[in-house]
Structure 1
């Protein structure tokens, strides 16, 4: 029987949020600054699929969906660096630890934006 007391030998969870999903730099986030975004079904399979970036509540909802369910390609395509940093203090409260911590560990500027 395997001893899993040592986490370094434990297989990664298929539900985990691995850092390989993250962009290498926030500058890679090339999503639009304005207009509307229509999410594909793999991200928004029920409910609202079109989000107006000019509506802060919709923008935050959109980013929450993408951060929770997206892949690296989705992050780069739909997220905008400026919006992410600006709204991170609110977003981080809406994200589980498994999403929030990898982003803040990889990008300390997100953690700093929350401290302001």
Structure 2
């Protein structure tokens, strides 16, 4: 159900980001990384489905998983076991 945008501009609502940068470009890797990290940490379940794209999440998970809290990482890897297969072998227990 993760069918978020893959290009264009994404403006995050105030309940996700209340200060600083609020607009991101999912087609730019660095911008997308910050967008996904912010949405994973602060978004509601409907935000996750609307703002995250499954393929893009899989592609950047090896790096993204090191930038989020261990709790969030564990929840997502439990829900999507395929994310574990993208993680480097030496970091799956971290």
| TM-score, reference length from structure 2 | 0.90
Residue from 87, 93, 96 that aligns with 2:60: 87
Matched, 1:37 2:44: no
Among 29, 50, 57, the alignment partner of 2:23 is 50
How far residue 53 of structure 1 moved from its aligned partner, in angstroms, is: 1.6
Could you tell me which residue of structure 1 aligns to residue 92 of structure 2?
Answer: none
Instruction: State the partner residue of 1:72.
Output: 45
Rg larger for: 1
For 1:66 and 1:83, how far apart are their aligned partners in 2?
14
Structure 1 moving runs of 4+ over 6 Å: none
Q: Deviations over 1:2-34 (max 9, x none)?
A: xxxxxxxxxxxxxxxxxxxxxxxxxx0010111
Query: Of 81, 84, 87, which aligns to 1:111?
Result: 84
Following superposition, the deviation at residue 115 of structure 1 comes to: 3.4
TM-score (norm 1): 0.74
**What is the RMSD computed on CA atoms of the aligned residues?**
1.1
Instruction: Specify every segment of 5 or more residues in structure 2 that has no aligned partner in the other structure, as ranges.
Output: 90-94
